[in-house]
Chains A and B, each alone.
Chain A
Amino acid sequence: MSTHTKPQPLGGPLWTPAFKVLAAIVGVSVLLMIWRFIAGLGATTGLSDGYPWGIWIAFDVVTGTALGCGGYAMAFLVYIFNKGDYHPLMRPAVLTSALGYTMAALAINIDVGRTPYIYKIPVFPAWWNLNSVLLEVALCVMAYVAILWLELSPAFFETWEQAGSHPALKKLAGVLHPIVKKLMIPILAVGVLLPTMHQTSLGALMLLAGQKVHGLWQTPFAPLLFLISCVAMGYGVVAMESTLATSVFKRPRETRLLARMAVVPAWLVVVYLILRLGDIVLRGRMGLAFHANIQAFMFWVEMVLFIGGAAMLFSPKFKDTAKGQFQASMAVVLAGAVYRMDTYLVAYNPGKNWAYFPAVPELLITVGVVALEIMAYLYIVKRYPILGGVAAAPNVRGAE
C-alpha cells in the first residue's frame, strides 16, 4: 500500500491566508487572556458561585482531552492488539492528542484562579489529598502531556538529525533520540495507562456533586461511560482528521483502512448505550427522559447522535466512503462531546435561580485556544514528518 511509505513533512508555505486568520483570532484571544489575569474571572467569564465551572472545564478540558484520545485509542489498537496495519494513522493521532492535551492544560491554567500555585501540585506530594479525584486528573494530565510529546519526539529528532538543521538542535537530537528509543516501551505503556486512569476520573469528578447532577447523568457508571465514550471519540477523531488531512492536503485516502477500523468505535458505542440505558432503566429513572425540560431534550440529542453515529459506522453505505466516514465519525465525536458538556453543565443544577452562559471573552478565549491548536497542527505537519505517504502537491492549500 502506498500509505506505508515513511512519513514526511508536507512542506509548502506556512503563512497562508487561513493561517493568518487563525493568528488574528489567537491574537485577540491572547489579549483577552491577559485581561482575564488582570481583572479576574468575574469580569471575563459568566462563572458564578452557582456555576464555578464553565466551558473552560466542560469543553476545553473535559471534552478537549476526550477529543485528544485519538492517540490513546490508536495505541490500544496498534500496540496492545498488535494491529500493525493501522500504523500510518499513529503519528497524526499522537499529534492531535498531544495538541489537544496541551491546549487542555493551557485552558486549566487560564481557568484556575490562583494559576501560579499550580506548580505546587507536582512539587508538594506531602500535600496531596489522595481522596481528590481532581488531583488524580491533574497529575495524570500533566504526566500525559509529557508522555505524548515524548511519543511524538522521534518525529522532531528525525528532522533535527538531518543535515542543515541548527547545530544545537542536532546535538540535542543526538543525545535524546537514543534515550527516548530505549525508553519507548515503558513510555507507550504509560501512555495507554494514563488516559485509562484520568478519563475514568473525569467521569468520576461529577459523582461528588451528588444530587446537583440530573438523574439521567448521575450514575456510578459515569467513570466507565466516560472511558468507553472517550475511546470511541478517539477513533472518530482519527478518522475525521485523516479524511480532512488527506482532502485538504490532496493526499491518497486511507478510506479502506478507516472502514475496517470503523467497527471498533461502533461496538464501543453499542456497549456504551447498553450500559447507559440499562443503568437508567434499572434504576427507574427513564421517566426523567420524558419531562419537558432542557435536560430531557439534551438526553435525546445525545441518544440520536450516539445511535445514529453507531448505525452509520456499521452501515457499508457510510463507512466505505470518505464522506460517510466523516459524517459518521462526526456524529460519534459530537455525541461524546455533548455527553460531556451535558454532564458538566446542562445536568448540573446548583439550586433555584442560578444560570450560566459563557461570557463573550470566555467564548473567545476558547475559540482562540482551538485556533492555536489548529495553527500548531498546520505548522508541525508542514515542517515535521507526521503524515505518511506522498509529499505535498505543489498547490497545497493551507485551509482546514
Chain B
Amino acid sequence: MGQKEETTRHEDHLDGSSWGRRDFMKVCTMAAAAMGLPSWAAEKMAETAAGPKKPSVVWLHFQECTGCTESLLRTSHPDVANLILDLISLDYCETLFAAAGYQAEDVLKDIMAKNAGKYVLIVEGAIPTKDNGIFCKIAGKTAVDMVNEVADKAGAIIAIGSCASWGGIPSADPNPTGAQGAPQVLKGKTVVTLPGCPANPYNLLGVVLQYATFGSLPALDDKARPLFAYTRVIHEDCPRRPHFDAGRFVGKFGDEGHKLGYCLYKTGCKGPVTHANCSLLPFGEVPGAWPIGIGHPCVGCTEQAVGFRIPISTTVEISHATPPDTYAPMHAEHSNIGPVAAGVAGLVGGALIGAGLMASKKLGEGAKEKEE
C-alpha cells in the first residue's frame, strides 16, 4: 500500500501534475508543529500554499557559504522541486535561478514593482560595510545598497543563518570586511533572525508560511529570533542530558565515555548557553543529524557571543544550574580545618603559656631579691 502510494506520487511528478493536498498537509503540519501552532493553522497554511497565491519570496545572497540554502534544499520533505515550485513562489534566488545577467535583474525589478509591500525578503550571508561595502557587489551594486533597496518594499524580512543574523563567520576576528548582519544594516526595520550554521529549514518555512497565511510574524525575543525555536537552550532538551545529570562525561574524543554517548560538556559543549531547537527538530528529518547527535560538542553557532568566538574546547558556565542525579547525605561533611590556623593557634597558645611561666619565674627571682 505504502509502496503504491510512493509510486503514485512519483508518477504525479513525472506527469508534471502538482502536489497533492496530503503532501501540503504533511509539510505544513511539520512547520506548524515546529512553531507550536495548532493543527487548524497547519490546514490553513496548506490551503494557502496549495492555492494560487503562494508567498512570493526574494532570496538574496551575500557573504556566505550557501550552506543555509543547501540545507534547505536537502530536506527530503518537501524536496527541492516542491519547495520552490509548489510551497512558495521563490521568485528570485541567485543559486537556483535558471535566469542570469540582465534577465535576472529584470525579474527582481518586476517583483519589487508588482508585489511591493507583500513579498518576503530572505537574506543569507553577512553584509560588508567597510570601505563603502566594496567587498561584495552584485550587478555593480554593493550588498548594502541592494539589501536596502529590496528591503524597502518587502512585507517581511528574514535573515537566515548566523551570517545574516549577526555577521557569522565573515564577522569573526579580525573581520577585514566589516561584515555585519542584516538587522545592523537595516536599522529601524523588523528583521526576523534565524541564526544557525546552518539554520534549520523548518524554522524558516514556519515563519514564511505564517506570514503568507496570517500576514503576521511569530513572537520574537530581544534578538528578533522566533520564540518557538529559540526560547530554550540546547542543554535543556539535549538527548544526552540524563548523562549530564548523572555526572557521566566524555573526557576526550574517542574515550570510553565518547563511545557510550555520554555528555559532551567537558569537551567544550556550548549547549548550556546556546538557544536553538536543534535537538527537537532534526535537520533534513534525519534523527541525530546535528553535532551532538554525531558525538561533537555544540559549538554555539546561533549565539553571537559564542559561535566562532569561544574556542570549541572551552567549557561554558551553566547559568541556571539544576539538581544532579545524586542526593545529599544525611550528614554532609562540613569539617575542614586549615593547618596554618592550627599552627598560628599553637603559636599563640604556646606564647601565652611561655609568658606565664616566664612571668612566674621572674616573680620568684624578684622575691628572692627582696628577701636578700
In the complex, what's the smallest C-beta–C-beta distance from A318 to chain B, in angstroms? 11
Q: How far is the CA of A327 from the CA of B337 in the complex (A)?
A: 33
A48 near B334 with CB under 8 A, answer yes
Interface locus among A194-202, A269-277, A350-358:
A350-358
Alpha-carbon separation in the docked complex, A351 to B330 (Å): 11
Contacts of A317-373 to chain B: CB distance below 8 A: 321-323, 326-327, 330, 351-355, 357-360, 362-364, 367
Interface residue from A50, A351, A360 paired with B344 (Cβ < 8 Å): A360
- Interface membership of chain B positions 339-372, coded 1 if the CB is closer than 8 angstroms to chain A and 0 otherwise: 0111011001000000110011111101100100
* Minimal beta-carbon separation of A114 from chain B (angstroms): 23
* Residues of chain B contacted by A48 (CB below 8 angstroms): 334
> Taking the complex as formed, is A46 at the interface, i.e. its CB lies under 8 A from any CB of chain B?
yes
* Interface 0/1 of A357-400, CB less than 8 Å to B: 11110111001000000000000000000000000000000001
Nearest residue (CB) in B for A350 is B334
Contact of A326 among B335, B337, B360 (CB under 8 A): B360
Contact: A359 with B334, CB < 8 Å? no
Please state if B338 and A359 are interface contacts (CB–CB under 8 Å). Answer: yes
User: Is A261's beta carbon under 8 Å from chain B?
Assistant: no
Chain B contact-residue range equals 20 to 34
Q: Which residue of the partner chain, among B332, B342, B366, contacts A357 with CB atoms under 8 Å? A: B342
How distant is the Cα of A110 from the Cα of B356 in the complex, in angstroms?
A: 28
Distance, CA A49 to CA B334, complexed state (A): 9
B345 in contact with A355 (CB, 8 Å): no
The answer to whether A247 and B337 touch across the interface, beta carbons within 8 angstroms, is no
A253 CB-CB contact with B under 8 Å: yes
Verify B345–A357 contact, CB threshold 8 A: yes
A321 B367 Cβ-Cβ under 8 A: yes
| Residue A138 CB within 8 A of the other chain | no
Indicate whether A253 sits within 8 Å of B344 (C-beta atoms), given known contacts A353-B332, A353-B335, A354-B334. no
| B363 x A358 contact (CB < 8 A) | no
Question: B223 to chain A: closest CB distance in Å?
Answer: 37
Q: Would you call B331 an interface residue if the criterion is a C-beta within 8 Å of the partner chain's C-beta atoms?
A: yes
Given known A247-B366, A360-B344, A363-B345, contact A353–B360 (CB-CB < 8 A): no
How near does chain B come to A31, taking the closest CB pair, in angstroms?
Answer: 16
- The answer to whether A326 touches B341 (Cβ under 8 A) is no
Q: How far is the CB of A355 from chain B (nearest CB, A)?
A: 3
Which residues of B sit under 8 angstroms from A46, Cβ to Cβ?
Answer: 337-338, 341
> Which residues in B have their C-beta under 8 angstroms from that of A264?
none
Whether B338 pairs with A354 at a CB distance below 8 angstroms is: no
Look across to chain B and name the residue whose beta carbon is closest to the beta carbon of A50. B334
List of B residues within 8 angstroms of A134 by Cβ? none
A49: nearest residue on chain B (CB-CB)?
Answer: B334
The complex places the Cα of A355 from the Cα of B338 at a distance, in Å, of 11
Q: Nearest A residue to B351 by beta-carbon distance?
A: A367
A359 to B370, CA, bound (A): 45
B326 CB-CB contact with A under 8 Å? no
Chain B contacts of A330 at CB under 8 A? 356, 360
Within 8 Å of chain A (Cβ to Cβ): is B336? yes
Q: Tell whether B5 is near chain A: CB-to-CB under 8 Å.
A: no
Question: Which listed residue, B336, B341, B348, B364, touches A323 by the CB 8 Å rule?
Answer: B364
Q: Which A residue's beta carbon lies closest to that of B333? A: A353
Majority-rule SS of B interface residues: helix
Q: Are A327 and B342 in contact (CB under 8 A)?
A: no
A244 to B330, CA, bound (A): 53
Of all chain B residues, the one with the shortest Cβ separation from A253 is: B370
Query: Which residues of the partner chain B approach A357 to less than 8 Å between Cβ atoms?
Result: 337-338, 341-342, 345
Q: Which B residues touch A295, using CB under 8 A?
A: none
Give the distance in Å from the alpha carbon of A355 to the alpha carbon of B333 in the complex. 9
The answer to whether A96 has its CB under 8 Å from any CB of chain B is: no
Given known A50-B334, A354-B335, A357-B338, contact A364–B344 (CB-CB < 8 A): yes
**How far is B335's CA from A330's CA once the two chains are assembled, in angstroms?**
33
Determine how close the nearest CB of chain A comes to the CB of B344; give it in whole angstroms. 5
> Whole-angstrom distance from the CB of A156 to the nearest CB of chain B?
29
Determine whether A8 belongs to the interface, using a CB cutoff of 8 Å to chain B.
no
In the assembled complex, how far is the CB of residue B216 from the closest CB belonging to chain A, in whole angstroms? 52
Contact partners of A355 in chain B: CB under 8 A: 334-337
Whether the Cβ atoms of B336 and A359 lie closer than 8 Å is no
* A358→B343 CA distance, assembly (Å): 11
Residue A243, interface by CB 8 Å:
yes
Interface members, chain B 3-39 (any A CB < 8 Å) = none
Question: Which of chain A's residues have a CB closer than 8 A to the CB of B333?
Answer: 353
Q: Which residues of chain A are near B337, meaning CB under 8 Å?
A: 46, 355, 357
Return the contact of B360 from the options A50, A323, A352, A362 (Cβ within 8 A): A323
If A363-B341, A364-B344 touch, whether A322 touches B367 (CB-CB below 8 Å) is yes
Minimum CB–CB distance for A344 against chain B, Å: 16
- Whether B370 pairs with A327 at a CB distance below 8 angstroms is no
Within 8 A of B (CB), among A220-274: 243-244, 247, 253
| Complex Cα spacing A357 to B337, Å | 6
Q: Shortest beta-carbon distance, A77 to chain B, in Å?
A: 23
Instruction: Verify A327–B341 contact, CB threshold 8 A.
Output: no
Q: Which A residues are CB-close (under 8 A) to B367?
A: 321-323
Name B334's closest neighbour in chain A (CB-CB): A354
Interface mask (A49-68 → B, CB under 8 Å = 1, otherwise 0): 11000000000000000000
For A49, the chain B residues whose CB sits under 8 A away are 334
For residue B336, which residues in chain A have a CB less than 8 angstroms away from its CB?
Answer: 355
- A360 and B334: CB pair below 8 A? no
From B330, B341, B361, B370, A360 is in contact (CB under 8 Å) with B341
Bound CA span A355–B345, Å: 16
Of residues 278 through 309 on chain B, the ones whose CB sits less than 8 Å from some CB of chain A are: none
A326–B362 CA distance with the chains assembled, in angstroms = 11
Taken together as a complex, chains A and B put the C-alpha atoms of A266 and B326 apart, in Å, by 59
A360 to B345, alpha carbons, bound, how many Å?
Answer: 8
Q: Is the CB of A322 within 8 A of B366?
A: yes
- Interface contact B363-A326, CB-CB below 8 Å: yes
- Nearest chain B CB to A279 CB, angstrom units: 30
Q: How far is the CA of A330 from the CA of B370 in the complex (A)?
A: 22
Q: Point out the residues of chain B lying under 8 angstroms from A243, CB to CB.
A: 363
Q: Which residues of B contact A364 (CB under 8 A)?
A: 344
Tell me the minimal C-beta distance from A299 to chain B in angstroms. 19
A119 CA to B348 CA in the complex, in Å?
Answer: 33
User: Which residues of chain B come closer than 8 Å to A322, judged between CB atoms?
Assistant: 363-364, 366-367
Complex A-B: 15 CB contacts under 8 Å: A50-B334, A247-B363, A247-B366, A321-B367, A322-B364, A323-B360, A326-B359, A326-B363, A353-B332, A353-B334, A355-B336, A358-B345, A359-B338, A360-B338, A363-B348
Closest 6 CB pairs of A and B: A355-B335, A352-B331, A323-B364, A357-B337, A323-B363, A353-B331
Q: A364-B344, A400-B355 are in contact. List 6 more A-B contacts (CB 8 A).
A: A247-B362, A322-B367, A326-B359, A330-B360, A354-B335, A363-B341
User: Interface of B with A (CB < 8 Å)?
Assistant: 330-338, 340-342, 344-345, 348, 355-356, 359-364, 366-367, 370
